Amino acid sequence: MLYLFSYSDVNHSLFVFLALLFVLLYEAINGFHDTANAVSTLIYTRAMSAHVAVIMSGLFNFLGVLLGGLTVAYAIVHLLPNDLLLNATDNNALAMVFSMLLAAIIWNLSTWYFCLPASSSHSLIGSIIGIGLTNAIITGSSLVNALNIPKMTNVFLSLILSPIIGLIVAGSLIFLLRYYFNNNKMLHRIHMTPLEREIKDGKKKPPFLIRVALILSSIGVSYAHGANDGQKGIGLIMLVLIGIVPSSFSVNLNANKNEIIYTKNALDNLEEYFLKNTTNSSNSIYKKNIIINSNINYQFQDVLKSIKNTKLLLESISNYNSLSVKQRLELRHFLLCISDIIDTTVNTNNISSHDKILLIKSKKILLKTIEYAPMWIILIVALSLSIGTMIGWKRIVVTIGEKIGKKSMTYAQAMSAQITASFSIGVASYTGIPVSTTHILSSSVAGTMLVDGDGIQAKTIKNIALAWILTLPVSILLSSLLYWIALLFI
């Protein structure tokens, strides 16, 4: 980690250090802001004491970050176009980074203070959008090109749909539990509240099997949260480092000889594929005497050009350290351009399953040496998230546990909400989609209350919905304003 500060002047090193500190602060706030999602159900069902539940959640958040991969991390990085990230001057990059982080931190702290389960993911994504739009306005460039629209569309859809899916799935689970266990002599207690359990059985804790199920489902939420939200922290740090010190982080300088050889082989396979398909397409069009699909031809010409340029850069190269700073930036640019055209080809053209597998596999190999994170980054994010998880959790816990439903939470409701959240977030992490843990779990709790006929507290739901609606526009405006002010003083 120390090498990060060894090459630059004192002021630049200080700014890099502060930027990393801001990311870790954001991640710690994310930890105690979102901890309630994993522990509130445990606490309110008395399955585990508050302090033990929080420590357990911190541990599994830590493991989630370590083992969760990097797909979500680079979904965050790629929200800003690569050209904007790499072409910014040092001062502009610093202004972008600090404005984005400060906007997300301000909104997260504000919603935490007012006990609102708002989304850290929404605030972060809104902040990134604000930077991209403001930069486009200031530089007079196209607003369409200010953001990575395809990536942004996928993220928006996931953020909008995930709470709705959470509500429906959790409601369906509680319906099934009612259907199968309501009259079961052994398991009917699953529909009791802790108070009902104490009055009827004289015991404060849930029955053993129900307690085990509650703890395991809570562990699932904590692990999934670490895997998804922890990756956002990793992505933020990589976004910061690629923007501020691209010479060291635009590509993985520790990539070994075999990884570079695999990259070269993948480029050869892709060149062969696109040359063959360009030729076949042209011959077919000529024979049938129809109009050429210019978009496909242009794309294939572009990708072949990028492949050729990349092969020239990697010719006789066995270590990325031998590339100049300019060549490293060019390599990242070319590889991402090839990746984008592969995505377009896979999604828009009628290709065989064999070709699709070839393209997806080749893309994965190409991105391996630019979609990476050093282990020290993963560790400090994991520590920051887990430490944050162990502090400041109480304010949001009260909202989740007491203020969503009109009645106390039953064991079945808690279990259904947690199973839904852990499964949904886990799938999102595996597929590289950043989702809101907060909104998935709070909507899941609401879904169980509605199906059980307990009703929900309209005021709380309105506040949560308001925070959900306002988070994106407020964070966009905040980061835009902060970025504009920062540019005035640099």
Q: If you write DSSP's letter for every residue of 3-40 in order, what string do you get?
A: GGGSSS-HHHHHHHHHHHHHHHHHHHHHHHHHTHHHHH
Rounded distance, CA 8 to CA 20, Å?
16
What's the pLDDT at 327? Answer: 92
Domain end call among 351, 367, 383: 367
Residue 458 clears pLDDT 60, i.e. is over it:
yes
Do 110 and 147 lie in a common domain? yes
Q: How does residue 3 score in pLDDT terms, banded at 50, 70 and 90? A: low
What's the pLDDT at 371? Answer: 92
Do 402 and 358 lie in a common domain? no
Q: What is the phi/psi pair of residue 405, to 5°?
A: -95, 155
Rounded distance, CA 452 to CA 178, Å?
8
| Token reading at 289 | 């005497």
| Token reading at 438 | 């907060």
Quick check: is 207 in a domain? yes
Q: Check residue 116 and report its DSSP letter.
A: -
Residue 487: closest CA among 19, 479, 442 = 479
Rounded distance, CA 181 to CA 361, Å?
46
Rounded distance, CA 150 to CA 312, Å?
29
Q: What integer is the mean pLDDT of 282-293? A: 42
Q: How does residue 288 score in pLDDT terms, banded at 50, 70 and 90? A: very low
Rounded distance, CA 179 to CA 244, Å?
57
What's the pLDDT at 186? Answer: 64
Do 150 and 269 lie in a common domain? no
Q: What integer is the mean pLDDT of 312-319? A: 89
Q: What integer is the mean pLDDT of 299-321? A: 88
Q: How does residue 283 score in pLDDT terms, banded at 50, 70 and 90? A: very low
Do 443 and 314 lie in a common domain? no
Segment of 23-37, 239-253, 323-337, 463-477 carrying the highest mean pLDDT: 323-337
Q: Which of 147-161, 183-197, 276-290, 389-403 has the lowest mean pLDDT?
A: 276-290
Put residue 140 in one of left, alpha, beta given phi > 0 → left and psi -120 to 50 → alpha. Answer: left
Do 356 and 231 lie in a common domain? no
Quick check: is 479 in a domain? yes
CB 28 within 8 Å of CB 388: yes
Residue-wise pLDDT for 206-246, tens only, equals 888 888 988 998 899 889 888 888 888 898 889 888 888 88
Do 387 and 353 lie in a common domain? no
Do 354 and 395 lie in a common domain? no
Q: Which residues lie below 8 Å from residue 96, measured CB to CB, with a gap of 6+? A: 88, 131, 135, 243, 483
Domain end call among 316, 335, 367: 367
Rounded distance, CA 157 to CA 119, Å?
15
Mean pLDDT of the chain: 81
Quick check: is 5 in a domain? no
Quick check: is 2 in a domain? no
Do 135 and 220 lie in a common domain? yes
Output the pTM of the full model: 0.82
- How many distinct structural domains can be found in the chain? 2
Q: In a 10 Å sphere around its CB, with 0-12 CB exposed, 13-18 middle and 19+ buried, how is residue 326 labelled? A: exposed
Do 39 and 72 lie in a common domain? yes
Q: What integer is the mean pLDDT of 466-480? A: 86
Provide the b/e sequence for 390-408 (b: ≥16 CB within 10 Å).
bebbbbbbebbbebbbeeb
Domain end call among 345, 367, 389: 367
Rounded distance, CA 409 to CA 190, Å?
11
Report how many helices (DSSP H) and strands (DSSP E) the chain contains, helices first: 20, 0
Do 228 and 85 lie in a common domain? yes
Quick check: is 175 in a domain? yes
What's the pLDDT at 397? Answer: 56
Residue 406 clears pLDDT 60, i.e. is over it:
no
Q: How does residue 66 score in pLDDT terms, banded at 50, 70 and 90? A: very high
Domain of 355? Answer: 251-367
Quick check: is 460 in a domain? yes
Residue 191 clears pLDDT 50, i.e. is over it:
yes
What's the pLDDT at 289? Answer: 38
DSSP, residue by residue, 172-207: HHHHHHHHHHTT-TTTGGGG--HHHHHHHHS-SSPP
Do 39 and 179 lie in a common domain? yes
Quick check: is 258 in a domain? yes
Residue-wise pLDDT for 425-453, tens only, equals 888 888 777 787 777 877 888 888 888 76
What's the pLDDT at 8? Answer: 53
Which is higher by pLDDT, 363 or 351?
363
Enumerate the H helices of 253-389 as residue ranges.
257-288, 294-314, 325-348, 353-367, 375-389
Quick check: is 1 in a domain? no
Q: What integer is the mean pLDDT of 137-165? A: 75
Do 340 and 443 lie in a common domain? no
